Amino acid sequence: MKFKYLIIAFGIIIVIIISVAVFFPVLLSGNGQRNFSTGEASLRYILFPLLIFMVLLLGCMSIYFFINYRLFSLLEREDWPALAYYLENKIYVKGKFSAKNVRLLASSYLVISDFQSVLKLEAKTQLAKPSEISRNTLLFGSARILGGNYSEAAVFFQSNIEKCKPSDKQWVRWFYGFSELLSGSFRSAEPEFSSLAVSSNDVLITGLSAYFLHSSIQKKSADPEKCRGLSVSGKERVIASIKNIKNWNKEVSKAGTDIHIAIIRKYIEEARQWIFT
Q: Chunk the chain into consecutive blocks of 10 residues (it has 277) and report each block's average pLDDT, rounded to whole numbers.
A: 55 64 55 50 60 71 73 84 94 93 94 95 95 95 96 97 95 98 96 97 97 96 96 97 95 87 95 95
> What pLDDT was estimated at residue 1?
44
The torsion angles phi and psi of 156, rounded to 5 degrees, stand at -65, -50
> What pLDDT was estimated at residue 36?
47
How remote is the C-alpha of 74 from its chain's centroid?
19
Reading phi first (left if > 0) and then psi (alpha if -120 to 50, else beta), residue 258 is in: beta
> What pLDDT was estimated at residue 70?
79
Other residues' Cβ atoms within 10 Å of the Cβ of residue 106: 26
Specify whether the CB–CB gap between 23 and 93 falls below 8 A. no
> What pLDDT was estimated at residue 6?
56
> What pLDDT was estimated at residue 45?
61
pTM over the 0.95 mark: no
> What pLDDT was estimated at residue 43?
54
